[in-house]
Amino acid sequence: MEPVSNFYGAGSLCFNINEFTFASSISLRPRHARTNCKYWRAVFLQLAKHNIDDMEKCLIIFCTFCLLLFPDFVSARGRLVPLDSIFLSDPSILADHNTQMYYMTGTGGKLWKSRDLKMWDGPYDVVKINPDSWMGKNPMIWAAELHQYKGKYYYFATFTNGDVKIDTVRGNVIERRACQVLVSDKPDGPYLQFGDSTYLPANRPTLDGTFWIDRDGKPYMVYCGEWLQNWNGIIEKIELKGDLSGTIGEGKVLFRASDSPWSREKAGNKIVPNKVTDGPYLFRTGTGRLGMLWTSWIYNVYTQGVAYSASGTLDGPWIQSPDPITPPDYGHSMLFRTLDGKWMMSIHRHSVINGRTIRVPHIFPVDLSTDKLIVCDK
């Protein structure tokens, strides 16, 4: 039994706000039903059939409308949790005006929902994979992103089939890993495979695909060629079909990890740019300048930088900013606009808990009004 403070009693009925149940023969469905008027009409008709006096009915109806007016008190998974209590790498947030909700996903492929970016409900399983596809029965899912485009919702993610090996380089066995796009009619899924069976070459490990419409009006995927195979990670673009159901042509290199002026690693007695490229994300500033966030390392510190395109298109050339743009141990971010129009950066930070490194989502406000991205409240 929950503490008394969590319950509102009405005679023989006991209403639990947190769990959203009646301790009686009357049962209510969880949160997703609370805005369905037909459903609540049925609930009230059901209440009328029970032997409950008018005062008890009034209390029940009052509590019900409180839940309708203040829905963040309840969660289909139980209590809502604050953002900094969620363990999640590569967080991506979609602000959906149709549902007036925020949807967050990332590595692991789960989905979280929120009305205020502070308290979150989840995780939900939203990905449906065909076990006969190249991904296999139980693929790892990395760096998932949600994008709304032409009336549908798209799930860009990296899938790894650990049962298939495609290469061995310098003693490293490389598993089948590639970016793929799934689709749904709703922001909370389910997200299903569609179109081409593969988007990128099967003999190369690719990851962290993101979505961009360039100045030519065509859709593109921008992604990383993993450093494990080439030992100098790359960021590439490839054109997508108009409905995002596959790719057109071959990928084109935009820049390489070795182009970075800020990343560092030791190679023997030398200090050189780090070999990793991770988490590309495209944006435009208020002046129309095209920028790209991406992440690498400074020795053992996860670090994010930014590059800007001199041409204003994906073709570049890309000019790397000399210094990182976010604090140490923050990386793999994306930008989104809140439901009231404010620009934010969703990012993860490293935390050490009981000797383990944990990745936790964080949100920074950002300023895009000038010709460069400014991260605020760092």
Q: What does the domain layout of the chain look like in residue ranges?
A: 4-73, 86-375
Beta-carbon contacts of 60 under 8 Å, excluding residues fewer than 6 positions away, are 10, 13, 15, 47, 52
Asked if residues 100 and 339 have their Cβ atoms less than 8 Å apart, the reply is yes
269 pLDDT higher than 60: yes
Report the run of H or E that residue 37 belongs to, with start and end.
helix 37-49
The mean-pLDDT minimum among 7-21, 32-46, 79-93, 209-223 falls in: 7-21
Pairing, β 301-309 against β 92-96: unpaired
249 pLDDT higher than 90: yes
pTM (global) more than 0.85: no
Asked: is 86-375 a CATH 2.115.10.20 domain? The reply is: yes
Print burial letters for 217-244: b (CB count within 10 Å at least 16), e (below 16).
eebbbbbbbbbbbeebbbbbbbbbeeeb
33 pLDDT higher than 90: no
- C-alpha dihedral (64, 103, 86, 138), degrees to nearest 10: 110
Amino acid identity at 356: R
- pLDDT grade, residue 53 (50/70/90)? low
Asked if residues 47 and 58 have their Cβ atoms less than 8 Å apart, the reply is no
Average pLDDT value for residue range 318-329: 97
